[in-house]
Amino acid sequence: MSIKDNVRALLEEIPAGVKLLAAAKSRTPQEIIEAVDAGIHLIGENYLQDAEAACEAVGSGVEWHFIGHLQRNKVAKAVRLFDMIETVDSLELAAEIDRRCAQIDKVMPVLIEINSGREQQKAGVVPEQAEALIRNIAGLKNITIKGLMTMGPLFGDPEESRPYFVETRKVFAEMKKLALPGVEMRELSMGMTDSYKVAIEEGATVVRIGTLIFGQRHYH
């Protein structure tokens, strides 16, 4: 199956109201262009240098999301390149995004990354600390919180991911109920190639898919 066929099959299968994000980690600009030509509007990048090359090649008309771990010393560059940062998990990172956006007169939509598996080595805020973090970030002028994102632990069986998606959706629902100023709970970014179907059942509005679009990854 070509990238084009893969994208078309996914777009037909994914329900209305759920966005398909092409996770383009270590893919070539040419592969990304093929996905865009087939109907992809959202591209997720994990690394800034890959994103720079890809943005240049692909051009405008698509939305770029940062879905990797963002270091504070890379924020100045990231806020110029990206339309959304999905992986905000600390006030320090949010404050730096806010400061750098203020310098270029931009308001950055962000998602708060939830460490739904409470895994020590993983990024994200644990569910019980999400509200405090969101309240702290909500006051920043050049950031707007648009929802939540989770990776969840990686399992062979997608069904095992379900409890982590459920937990993240609960936080999403609680935050929505609070209706905090500067916070719009609109996007719930959950699920990847192996687990996207379960994620959609549990309320994902964005699924981040790489292998199922581009085929097995070739590292460079």
How confident is the model at residue 219, as a pLDDT?
52
Q: How crowded is the C-beta side of 165, counted as CA atoms within 13 Å?
A: 25
Query: Residue 117: CB partners within 8 Å, gap ≥ 6?
Result: 151, 152, 153, 164
68/48 Cα distance (integer angstroms): 9
% of the chain surpassing 90 pLDDT: 92
* CA–CA separation, 184 and 181 (whole Å): 8
Is the confidence at residue 220, as pLDDT, over 50?
no
Contact assessment for residue 34 and residue 62, using Cβ atoms and an 8 Å cutoff: no
Half-sphere exposure of 172 (CA within 13 A, CB side): 25
Predicted TM-score (pTM) of this structure: 0.96
**pLDDT score, position 97:** 98
Q: Read off the pLDDT band of 159 (50, 70, 90).
A: very high
Read off the tokens for 127: 């569910």
Check residue 155 and give its pLDDT: 84
Q: Regarding predicted confidence, which is higher, 216 or 172?
A: 172
Domain 3-214 has CATH 2.40.270.10: no
- What are the structure tokens assigned to 93, written together? 């990172």
Q: Considering only CA atoms, which of 84, 164, 151 is closest in space to residue 124?
A: 151
Task: Give 79-100 pLDDT, tens digit per residue.
Answer: 999 999 999 999 999 999 999 9
Q: State the amino acid at position 1 in one-letter form.
A: M
Q: What would the mean pLDDT of 135-150 be, rounded to a whole number?
A: 97
Question: Which tens digits make up the pLDDT trace of 109-142?
Answer: 999 999 999 999 899 999 999 999 999 999 999 9
Q: Read off φ and ψ for residue 142, nearest 5 degrees.
A: -105, 20
